[in-house]
Amino acid sequence: FVSELCLGTMTFGAAGQNAQWGLIASLDQKGVNEIVGRSIAAGVNFFDTADVYSFGESERLLGQSLRDLGIARSSVVIATKVHAATGDGPNQRGSSRGHIMDSVDASLERLQLDHIDLYQLHG
């Protein structure tokens, strides 16, 4: 089953990365592990992140937390998103097939997972 509540991870990441994320993100690995652990204990098994949250740091922290806490991949539902622009290069923009496929690979690597359960185009 998928829990009725989903833990959003936009606040996972370093506070000083830039002006936008510095206002939102402030959780390091220790804080992320605590929040993810408490969420699992409360019955939450659905986690939402995005490649744009702290420039991918949110995905990395979530993936590491699942490993640190020994949470089985089969027991959680992971949603992430591709953002229309994640860099300055010509293939790091838009919702082209190439950009989306590259973004899937990068998200899987940061999350340390072999699949994503729900993949969305971030607005």
Active-site residues, by number, are: 53
Tell me the C-alpha to C-alpha distance, in Å, between residue 105 and each of 9, 90, 98, 113. 19, 17, 11, 10
